[in-house]
Amino acid sequence: MNELVLTLRQPAQIGDRAREDFVLSTLEHVPGTVVRGAFAASWLARNGVSAAGTPERAEFLRLFEGGVRFGPLLRPGTEFLPLSVVTHKYQAKETCTEVEFDRAVTGEAPLRCPDCGSPLDQVKVLRGDRPPVRRRTSVSIGESGVARRGVLFTRETLEVGQEFRGAQPRTGQQEAGQHGRAEQKLPHR
């Protein structure tokens, strides 16, 4: 399988929602939607926005609005928890006997941790080492453009040189392992 490798040239905060505690955290992987957005931006930078009904418009739609699947890119050594696994929705305590329950192994999993009572949820969690994350705290700027007194926020960024890997964007046909020439090709960067 061909691999797509991404290396950060600038510190990056990968879209996560602002939290109420004024920490802009970063995801620790690159979601497929971000990969798609990067390719689409590159395509637009090269070809411009095309008018409806043109072949360019058709190509754009084929590449970015369906047909091609853009998978996530992960840091080497990490993987998503399998879908059969439920894990603590809130931080597990040291007294918890089990942190995760794998329904593929145990059949049914409890709804809550028998030890701490935290709900158990199917969460999209990465397993593996945490990346080095830089935290920078600055003054929060209000809507009027003026610093809000006493309000700080913290932005987390992933460091330069961080590498992510994943499958190259591919069509459903390629995914199904069909032979023959791929109909859809992505533009080279």
CB of 136 to Zn ion, least distance (A): 33
Which residue shows structure tokens 């920078």? Answer: 136
CB of 90 to Zn ion, least distance (A): 8
DSSP state of 130: P
Question: Taking the alpha carbons of 148, 152, 155, 160 in that order, is the dihedral positive or negative?
Answer: positive
Stretch that binds Zn ion, among 11-19, 40-48, 110-118, 121-129 (CB under 5 A): 110-118
Residues 69-98 that bind Zn ion (CB under 5 A): 92, 96
Type of residue found at 178: Q
115 binds Zn ion (CB under 5 A): yes
| 3-state SS, residue 178 | coil
One character per residue 28-67, x = contact with Zn ion (rule: CB under 5 A):
----------------------------------------
C-alpha distances (whole Å) from 54 to each of 64, 68, 111 are 16, 20, 53
Q: Which two tokens stand for residue 189?
A: 């960067």
CB of 85 to Zn ion, least distance (A): 15
Q: What is the DSSP string of 60-123?
A: HHHHHSSSEE---BB-TT-EEPPTTEEEESSPPPTT-S-SEEEHHHHSS--SB-TTT--BEE--
Q: Are 41 and 34 in contact (CB under 8 A)?
A: no
100 binds Zn ion (CB under 5 A): no
> Given the complex with Zn ion, which of 70 and 101 has the nearer CB atom?
101
| Size, binding site for Zn ion by CB under 5 A | 6
CB of 112 to Zn ion, least distance (A): 8
113 binds Zn ion (CB under 5 A): yes
CB of 23 to Zn ion, least distance (A): 24
Task: Single out the residue of 23, 116, 125, 186 in contact with Zn ion (rule: CB under 5 A).
Answer: 116
Residues 117-136 that bind Zn ion (CB under 5 A): 118
Binding region for Zn ion (CB under 5 A): 92, 96, 113, 115-116, 118
